[in-house]
């Protein structure tokens, strides 16, 4: 995107023409990013429901579109047609404003998400700080919606959410700070001369920041836990706890406003995965290729995009998977986890990283050995995990079913209602008569 | 155990137990879902997979029906309507009407219990929705059927496969209503075995009077 802005700068259109063109280009880019974010959020809704289905021995939506992938469009259409209710005693302006604030908080952050080497709407020099700052806006939106609904469940949800987001901002920032310390910059992509966070990593796992040293590995888990909590996702979904608060802060919302909350939540899942990918997993870096090589070919750029989306997709899957595995925390457990565990560990990680940078010279043999050892440890944990999965599969005694999409085959028989348009009999009778 | 070791063992237990929980749910991704994708994505029609004794829509095999009307008498809601007529010339009894209103039927199974030959029974069919309520009355006697002799005790009765009789009668949901065909007794033949329908206006009127007589007689 940067090249578009530069091209406009160079056009000789006079001051006004250039400014108008620049504004137009910014609007187009913003609209494109918004659309991409909306689509990702929509598809994630479907992914969540399919994964939830499989975890619960169900199938999930598989009828709208090829494998049910258009389910979110059908849901969106349904919500769009619904009545937009505003409670009688609600604070009307605030009630209307709240979902937009939440959406701005989440979708605004997408401006600094590096989808690829060139595919970043604005490669700010304070990129990660901008994301942390803008996403905090969603706390205001949630608290506002809770207050303005004039409903006890909403208010409780809003208060819980505010407490939670304010608390978990600290460990999230500490986790991010560890990476900022390693990279020495806040910028996402950067340039050849001044590499940002992604460029200073590499394509191979041992070049990622997550395996930079043991403290970075711990920092990732601190960041990820805090990000899940900030996004109000299970097991930290106290603000919208269905079993206690109906739907928490969005209890009173309906129609498109509700859809706004919903999409913002799922866009936020992608956002946290994308940020984790950027900070810890090497972003769009393709193994075996340097950024300079990738710059030359648009196909390699697309490959970088695919790599980024795949990494972020795995992150999204983990977030969804966590939701359907863990039970919800109690309020005191939630705060205990943050203040007794995550914050001290986060500080320890920060100090550990700083000490590591001081003691181990970058690029030395010791440095590389630590990278390799940490990556090997990660691999070991992963292998242990899959061994446990195999153990549970064997213990269940069930046959392995690799039809992950559970398409199901159409039967050889013709069931009632199928393959026959409504009223076909009437039309045939009319033709015969 | 000191506070410090408790602190770290809590972290350790958290990581291992949560990890194992994740392994359990991950293993479910590779297990077969138990959902049955009714109605179109099944290896066999669902009616064929129902338990043997499930009570679906009633059906009657008129080839073995004795015309005794026990089922109609047993029915607590009178959803079975039977007419048995006697051909004066040959003294043979014919079933000219066997209607079951499945809109009324409560699937209690008393009729099937009462049947001496097993002619009336529950099929495994259950998809009976129609767009015209009159179509819920199933007319099993499409022509006059001679009554069968009651089977001897313990003898095996040959009958059509379960559901084969009622399935074509149910038809498609949006088929238009067609009034039932008027069933007439076959013309008195020279050879009594033949069963050729020969409807005639004069005969029909004569039958209706005999119909009432027959009804009285059967009760």
Mean pLDDT value of segment B116-120: 89
pLDDT above 90 (res A4) = no
Q: Which pLDDT value is given to residue B107? A: 92
Q: From residue A414, how far is each of A129, A396, B44, B45, B100 by CA, in Å?
A: 60, 35, 10, 8, 26
Looking at the complex, report in whole angstroms how far the Cα of residue A222 sits from the nearest Cα belonging to chain B: 12
DSSP state of A230: H
- The answer to whether the CB of A349 falls within 8 A of the CB of B54 is no
A58 and B18 within 8 Å at the Cβ level: the answer is: no
Looking at the complex, report in whole angstroms how far the Cα of residue B46 sits from the nearest Cα belonging to chain A: 9
Tokens encoding B44: 């066999």
Instruction: Return the CA Rg of chain B.
Output: 29
Predicted confidence band of residue B25 (pLDDT cuts 50, 70, 90): very high
- Count the Cβ atoms, other than its own, within 10 Å of residue A13: 13
Phi, psi torsion values for B163, nearest 5 degrees: 90, -20
Predicted confidence band of residue A226 (pLDDT cuts 50, 70, 90): very high
What is the separation of C-alpha A255 from the centre of its chain, rounded to a whole number of angstroms?
A: 23
Q: Which pLDDT value is given to residue B217? A: 38
Longest Cα pair distance anywhere in chain A, in angstroms?
Answer: 95
Which element (helix H / strand E) includes B120? strand B120-122
Average pLDDT, chain A: 84
pLDDT above 70 (res A393) = yes
Q: Is the pLDDT higher at A319 or at A201?
A: A319
Could you please report the per-residue DSSP string of A254-313?
A: -HHHHHHHHHHHHHHHHHHHHHHHHHHS-TTPPTT--HHHHHH-HHHHHHHHHHHHHHHH
Mean pLDDT value of segment A228-243: 82
Burial of A354 (0-12, 13-18, 19+ CB in 10 A): middle
B45 and A415 within 8 Å at the Cβ level: the answer is: yes
Between CA A136 and CA A139, with CA A137 as vertex, the angle to 5 degrees is 75
Looking at the complex, report in whole angstroms how far the Cα of residue B40 sits from the nearest Cα belonging to chain A: 6
Predicted confidence band of residue B36 (pLDDT cuts 50, 70, 90): confident
The closest CB to that of B176, out of A388, A389, A429, belongs to A429
B29 and A51 within 8 Å at the Cβ level: the answer is: yes
What is the separation of C-alpha B77 from the centre of its chain, rounded to a whole number of angstroms?
A: 17
Q: Which pLDDT value is given to residue B210? A: 42
Predicted confidence band of residue A415 (pLDDT cuts 50, 70, 90): low
Burial of B209 (0-12, 13-18, 19+ CB in 10 A): exposed
- Distance between CA atoms of residues A231 and A109, nearest Å: 13
Set of chain B residues whose Cβ sits within 8 Å of the Cβ of A53? 33, 35
Predicted confidence band of residue A381 (pLDDT cuts 50, 70, 90): very high
B interface test, pick of A51, A415, A432 with most B CB neighbours within 10 Å: A415
Walk me through the domains of chain B, giving residue ranges and CATH numbers: 53-187+200-218 (3.30.70)
- The answer to whether the CB of B210 falls within 8 A of the CB of B93 is no
A interface test, pick of B14, B35, B44 with most A CB neighbours within 10 Å: B35
Tokens encoding A373: 């050892």
Mean pLDDT value of segment B6-30: 90
The closest CB to that of A321, out of B26, B35, B37, belongs to B26
Comparing A337-341, A360-364, B106-110, the range with the smallest average pLDDT is A360-364
What is the separation of C-alpha B45 from the centre of its chain, rounded to a whole number of angstroms?
A: 15
pLDDT digits (tens, 9 = 90+) for B172-183: 877 888 888 888
Mean pLDDT value of segment A179-207: 83
pLDDT digits (tens, 9 = 90+) for A10-30: 776 677 777 788 888 888 888
Q: Which pLDDT value is given to residue A314? A: 93
Comparing A76-85, A358-367, A412-421, B143-152, the range with the smallest average pLDDT is A412-421
pLDDT digits (tens, 9 = 90+) for A54-107: 898 888 888 887 888 888 888 888 888 888 888 888 888 888 888 888 888 888
Predicted confidence band of residue A421 (pLDDT cuts 50, 70, 90): low
Comparing B7-11, B117-121, B168-172, the range with the smallest average pLDDT is B168-172
Q: Is the pLDDT higher at A393 or at A412?
A: A393
Predicted confidence band of residue A322 (pLDDT cuts 50, 70, 90): very high
pLDDT above 60 (res A153) = yes
B-chain residue closest to A424, CA distance: B174
- Distance between CA atoms of residues A53 and A71, nearest Å: 14
Q: Which pLDDT value is given to residue B1? A: 65
- Count the Cβ atoms, other than its own, within 10 Å of residue B179: 7
Mean pLDDT value of segment A349-378: 88
Q: Which pLDDT value is given to residue B191? A: 57
Q: Which pLDDT value is given to residue A72? A: 86
- Distance between CA atoms of residues A234 and A228, nearest Å: 8
pLDDT above 90 (res B116) = no
Cα dihedral A420/A422/A425/A429 (nearest 10): -140
Long-range contacts, A391-396 (Cβ 8 Å, 24+): A391/B23, A392/B23, A392/B24, A392/B27, A393/B27, A393/B30, A393/B31, A396/B27, A396/B31
- Count the Cβ atoms, other than its own, within 10 Å of residue A30: 16
How much of chain A exceeds pLDDT 70, in percent? 93
pLDDT above 50 (res B216) = no
Q: Which pLDDT value is given to residue A68? A: 82
- Distance between CA atoms of residues A161 and A165, nearest Å: 6
Q: Is the pLDDT higher at B204 or at A380?
A: A380
Q: Which pLDDT value is given to residue A12? A: 67
Average pLDDT, chain B: 81
Q: Which pLDDT value is given to residue A425? A: 61
Predicted confidence band of residue A416 (pLDDT cuts 50, 70, 90): low
Secondary structure (H, E, C), A133-156: HHHCHHHHHHHHHHHHCCCHHHHH
DSSP state of B97: E
- Distance between CA atoms of residues A365 and B145, nearest Å: 98
Q: Which pLDDT value is given to residue B91? A: 84
Set of chain A residues whose Cβ sits within 8 Å of the Cβ of B39? 415-418
The residue assigned the tokens 């913003």 is: A30
- Distance between CA atoms of residues A158 and A141, nearest Å: 9
Tokens encoding B92: 């043979």
Q: Which pLDDT value is given to residue A196? A: 81
A393 and B30 within 8 Å at the Cβ level: the answer is: yes
Set of chain A residues whose Cβ sits within 8 Å of the Cβ of B31? 57, 393, 396, 398, 400-401
Query: Which pTM was predicted?
Result: 0.78
Q: Which pLDDT value is given to residue B214? A: 43
Interface residues of chain B, partner chain A, Cβ below 8 Å: 11, 18-35, 37, 39-45, 127, 170, 172-176
B29 and A54 within 8 Å at the Cβ level: the answer is: yes
Mean pLDDT value of segment A100-119: 85
Set of chain A residues whose Cβ sits within 8 Å of the Cβ of B18? 325-326
CB pairs under 8 A between A and B: 110
Comparing A84-88, A398-402, B139-143, the range with the smallest average pLDDT is A398-402
């Amino acid at each position: 995107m940067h090249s578009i802005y530069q091209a406009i700068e160079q056009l000789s259109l006079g001051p006004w023409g250039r400014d108008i063109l620049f504004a137009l280009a910014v609007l187009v880019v913003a609209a494109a990013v918004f659309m991409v974010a909306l689509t990702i959020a929509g598809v994630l809704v479907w992914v969540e429901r399919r994964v939830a289905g499989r975890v619960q021995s169900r199938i999930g939506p598989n009828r709208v579109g090829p494998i049910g992938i258009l389910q979110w469009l059908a849901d969106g259409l349904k919500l769009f047609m619904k009545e937009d209710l505003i409670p009688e005693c609600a604070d009307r302006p605030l009630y209307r404003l709240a979902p937009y604030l939440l959406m701005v908080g989440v979708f605004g952050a997408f401006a600094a998400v590096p989808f690829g080497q060139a595919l970043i709407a604005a490669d700010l020099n304070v990129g990660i700080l901008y994301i942390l700052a803008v996403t905090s806006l969603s706390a205001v939106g949630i608290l506002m919606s809770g207050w303005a609904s004039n409903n006890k469940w909403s208010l409780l949800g809003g208060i819980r959410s505010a407490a939670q987001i304010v608390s978990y901002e600290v460990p999230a920032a500490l986790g991010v700070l560890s990476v900022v310390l390693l990279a020495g910059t806040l910028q996402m992509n950067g340039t050849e001369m001044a590499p940002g966070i992604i460029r200073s990593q590499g394509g191979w796992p041992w070049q990622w920041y997550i395996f930079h040293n043991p403290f970075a590995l711990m920092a990732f888990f601190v960041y990820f836990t805090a990000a899940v909590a900030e996004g109000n996702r299970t097991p930290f979904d106290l603000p919208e706890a269905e079993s206690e608060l109906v739907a928490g802060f969005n209890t009173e919302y309906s129609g498109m406003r509700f859809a706004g909350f919903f999409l913002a939540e799922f866009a936020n899942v992608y956002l946290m995965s994308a940020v984790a990918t950027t900070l810890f997993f090497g972003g769009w870096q393709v193994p075996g290729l340097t950024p300079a090589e990738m710059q030359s070919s648009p196909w390699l750029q697309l490959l970088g995009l695919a790599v980024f989306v795949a990494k972020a997709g795995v992150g999204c899957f983990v977030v969804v998977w966590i939701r359907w595995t863990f039970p919800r925390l109690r309020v005191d457990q939630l705060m205990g986890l943050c203040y007794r565990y995550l914050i001290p560990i986060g500080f320890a990680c920060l100090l550990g990283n700083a000490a590591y940078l001081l003691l181990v010279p970058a690029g030395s043999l010791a440095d590389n050995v630590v990278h390799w050892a940490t990556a090997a440890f990660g691999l070991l944990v992963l292998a242990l995990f899959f061994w446990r999965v195999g153990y549970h599969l064997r213990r269940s005694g069930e046959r392995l079913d690799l039809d992950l999409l559970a398409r199901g085959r159409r039967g050889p028989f013709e069931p009632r209602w199928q393959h026959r348009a409504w009223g076909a009999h009437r039309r045939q009778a009319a033709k015969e008569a | 155990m000191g506070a410090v070791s408790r602190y770290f063992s809590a972290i350790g237990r958290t990581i291992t137990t949560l990890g194992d929980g994740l392994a359990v749910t991950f293993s479910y991704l590779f297990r077969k879902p138990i959902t049955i994708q009714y109605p179109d994505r099944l290896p066999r029609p669902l009616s064929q997979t129902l338990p043997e004794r499930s009570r679906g829509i009633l059906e009657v095999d008129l080839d073995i029906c004795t015309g005794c009307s026990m089922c109609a008498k047993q029915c607590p809601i009178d959803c079975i309507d039977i007419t048995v007529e006697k051909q004066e010339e040959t003294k043979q009894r014919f079933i000219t009407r066997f209607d079951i209103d499945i809109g009324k039927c409560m699937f209690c199974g008393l009729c099937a219990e009462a049947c001496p030959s097993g002619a009336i029974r529950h099929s495994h069919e259950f998809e009976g929705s129609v767009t015209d309520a009159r179509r819920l009355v199933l007319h099993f006697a499409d022509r006059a059927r001679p009554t069968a002799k009651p089977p001897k005790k313990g003898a095996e009765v040959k009958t059509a496969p379960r559901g084969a009789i009622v399935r074509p009668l149910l038809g498609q949901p949006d088929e238009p209503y067609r009034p039932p065909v008027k069933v007439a007794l076959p013309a008195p033949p020279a050879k009594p075995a033949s069963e050729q329908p020969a409807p005639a206006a004069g005969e029909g009127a004569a039958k209706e009077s005999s119909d009432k007589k027959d009804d009285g007689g059967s009760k």
